[in-house]
Amino acid sequence: MRRSTLLGLAGFLLTGAAFAQTPNDYASLTSRFDAAINPTEIGGWLKLMAAEPNHVSSPHNKANADWILKQFRDFGWDAHIETYQVLYPTPVSEALDIPNLNGKPWSAALQEKPIPGDSSATAKDYALPAYLAFQGDGDVTAPLVYVNYGNVDDYKRLEQLGISVKGKIVITRYGQGWRGLKVKLAQDHGAVGALIYSDPADDGYSVDAVYPDGPMRPPQGFQRGSVADMTIYPGDPLTPGVGAKANAKRLTREQSPSLLKIPALPISYGDAQVLLGAMDGVVAPDNWRGHLGITYRVTGNVPVHLAVKSEWSLKTIYDVIATLKGSQYPDQWVVRGNHHDGWVFGASDPLSGQSALLAEAKALGQLVKSGWKPKRTIVYTSWDAEEPMLLGSTEWAEDHADELKKKAILYINSDGNGRGILGVGGSEDLEKFVSDTLAGLTDPETGQSVDARRRARLRMAGPMADEHARAMGRQAADPSRNMPLEPLGSGSDYSAYLQHLGLATLDYGYGGEGRSSGVYHSRYDTYEHHSKFVDPGFVYDALLAKTVGRAPISPRPLANMSAK
Ligand SMILES: [Zn+2]
């Protein structure tokens, strides 16, 4: 049975996630905790974990899981790895070409070339090429239709223009909506294939200089990702609702509703320029035009060939689970997670958050070694296979659903992190708890309090913002009121805990002043890019560790409540 967030929360607030006896203890605990967080060490861990490609089923991603396990044990935690067998297709072959472009054949570059001085040039292992996991394999040839961002309103506009995508290959740009929906809508409207590119207007040269001179996406960079129909259910497409153990009952691929049917690829804006530039039909509406040096058109006559073939066997994934047992309420769990798999190196997404999580684990381990005892059990997790479809976190939640429903009182998530202002999402009932744990946290660059910076940003929601954002702004403007929290949707590992188990959930991350968007899910999300453009000195990754670590050592008053 689904337990309501409210019920979980009532227990949480009454008993607190508290482990300290008095506020004085808390002050001493937090200062000892903070003293154990070392930005240089965090940077070293990040460099080590991001040295080679870390996609699901890659050797380095597995080596990272083993290394993370060893770290937890060295820090004094009881830790183990749990494995699941999930459907995760990997590309075998792919092609995108124009057989005859002005008398010559042309083909797209479906790998990003290495950049000297960057991990993309020094790594030895295989990097995934352009790829959209859970697209449908196929081999098609058809003219293109440009559909802007490829969302519902864009198809309405297309209909007004009297243009159909039936039998055509759709080309759409990233932004203004979930990537999977772009391919799904193309499929639903009868397209036979789909291409998604990143327009320089959105995350390329129109924003800032491109990598390696600046942080933004270079002409050859592209955004990998999942296009599974996540709105149906996250997790393994073949085992909805149950843990994907070896002996689990499985759907066939044909039965799975979350897999798409048409071939699809992400491409660079360098290649998009050629494809869009070869179109010769109807000129695109004003607000459909990006910043490439071409006339944007909706239709064209040049046939384009798109072929994708994947290998669809089950792959083993590795979740690291580490525990510090509670001394007083061992059957009340505070669960904390971040994923460790990436699309390529994954330095910003997710290893910046993973490194912060390790720093917390080390600091908590040191507190335990110095005599501190958590009253409740703390469970730290390092998820595998978040990128394809929240696989590691969802399968663990499904596998342990009964126990989690009885014991878990809070799930705390993080993912990629960077320079900037605190983002924290969760249910309204957790506002008091979050407000309390922000006390004493200071921004490393400005010296302002984390609380003040976040309130200032929320207050900037202007008249054009939606009503909810303006309400948050009004609440943030009143220092006597609790810190407002963003409502949580989906898109990271908290999904199964919030939406399936109904747990009280928080999601933390700093950002907005670093520049990770230009390398998001590309081969250039590297240690070099992160340390230069996203979090120089790793001070915000360290701040994330201090911020999240406040929760398990929080001073919320203990009530005389036994385990639920
Ligand atoms: Zn991530």
CATH number at residue 79: 3.40.630.10
Q: How many residues comprise the chain?
A: 564
* Sites in the chain below the pLDDT cut of 50: 1-21, 557-564
CA of 352 from ligand 1 middle (Å) equals: 10
Task: State the Cα torsion 232-233-238-240 to the nearest 10°.
Answer: -120
- Do 186 and 260 fall within a single domain? yes
Which residues are CB-contacts of 24 (< 8 A; sequence separation ≥ 6)? Answer: none
Q: Domains in the chain: how many in total?
A: 2
Give residue 413 CA to ligand 1 midpoint distance, Å: 11
Alpha carbon distance 123, 144 (integer Å): 36
Same domain, 388 and 250: no
Ligand 1 centroid to Cα of residue 18, in Å, is 29
Q: Do 263 and 399 share a domain, yes or no?
A: no
DSSP-based three-state secondary structure for 310: strand
Planar angle of CA 175, 177, 181, nearest 5 degrees: 120
462 domain-assigned: no
Quote the domain boundaries for residue 46. Answer: 5-87+314-441+504-549
pLDDT of residue 462: 79
Q: Which helix (H) or strand (E) holds 314?
A: strand 314-324
* Residue linked to tokens 């490609």: 53
Å from CA of 343 to ligand 1 middle: 9
- Give this prediction's pTM: 0.93
**Centroid of ligand 1 to alpha carbon of 303 (angstroms):** 36
CB 472 within 8 A of CB 458: yes
349 C-alpha to ligand 1 centroid (Å): 5
Q: Are residues 258 and 288 in the same domain?
A: yes
Task: List C-alpha distances in Å: 67 to 73, 212, 339, 386, 465.
Answer: 10, 30, 14, 18, 44
Ligand 1: distance of its center to the CA of 88 in Å?
Answer: 17
Among residues 292, 311, 330, the one where a domain terminates is 311
With beta carbons less than 8 A apart as the criterion, state whether 264 and 110 touch.
Answer: no
Cα 446 to ligand 1 centre (Å)? 27
Ligand 1 centroid to 8 CA: how many Å? 26
Query: How many Å lie between the centroid of ligand 1 and the Cα of residue 176?
Result: 18
Residues 121 and 226 in one domain: yes
Distance 479 CA to ligand 1 centre (A): 32
- What is the distance in A from the centroid of ligand 1 to the CA of 335? 18
Examine the domain organization and report whether 515 and 409 are in the same domain. yes
Q: Please provide the DSSP assignment of 220-237 as one string.
A: T----EE-S-TTT--S-T
Distance 415 CA to ligand 1 centre (A): 5
Q: How far is the CA of 224 from the centre of ligand 1 (A)?
A: 12
pLDDT attached to residue 456: 96
What separation in Å is there between the alpha carbon of 552 and the centre of ligand 1?
Answer: 23
What does each C-alpha distance from 387 to 253, 339, 446, 492, 546 come to in angstroms? 20, 9, 33, 9, 26
How high is the pLDDT of residue 479?
Answer: 92
Domain boundary among 295, 311, 327: 311
CATH of the domain at 206: 3.50.30.30
Are 183 and 322 within one domain? Answer: no
Q: How far apart are CA 282 and CA 367, in angstroms?
A: 66
Ligand 1 center–CA 161 separation, angstroms:
38
Residue 559 lies in a domain: no
Q: In the prediction, which pLDDT does 97 show?
A: 98
How far, in Å, from the CA of 226 to the mean position of ligand 1? 12
How many other CB atoms sit within 10 Å of the CB of residue 178?
18
Strand partners, 442: 449
520 CA distance to ligand 1 centroid (A)? 10
In Å, how far from its chain's centre is CA 166?
A: 33
CA of 493 to the centre of ligand 1 (A): 8
Whole-number Å distance, alpha carbon 509 to ligand 1 midpoint, is 11
CB under 8 Å to 363, separation ≥6 — which residues? 32, 33, 34, 36, 37, 545, 549
Query: How far does residue 163's CA lie from ligand 1's centre (Å)?
Result: 37
Q: Where are the beta strands (DSSP E) in 326-449?
A: 329-339, 376-383, 408-414, 420-426
Q: Are residues 259 and 323 in the same domain?
A: no
**288 in Cβ contact with 244 (< 8 Å):** no
Residue 492 Cα to ligand 1 middle (Å): 7
Report H helices in 408-522.
431-438, 450-459, 467-477, 495
Could you tell me the distance, in angstroms and rounded to a whole number, from the CA of residue 416 to the centre of ligand 1?
A: 6
pLDDT of 561: 27
Take residue 111 and report the two structure tokens written for it: 């790998």
Quote the pLDDT of residue 556.
63
Alpha carbon of 354 to ligand 1 centroid (Å): 10
Is residue 470 domain-resident?
A: no
Q: How far is the CA of 234 from the centre of ligand 1 (A)?
A: 14
Statement to judge: residues 79 and 145 lie in one domain: no
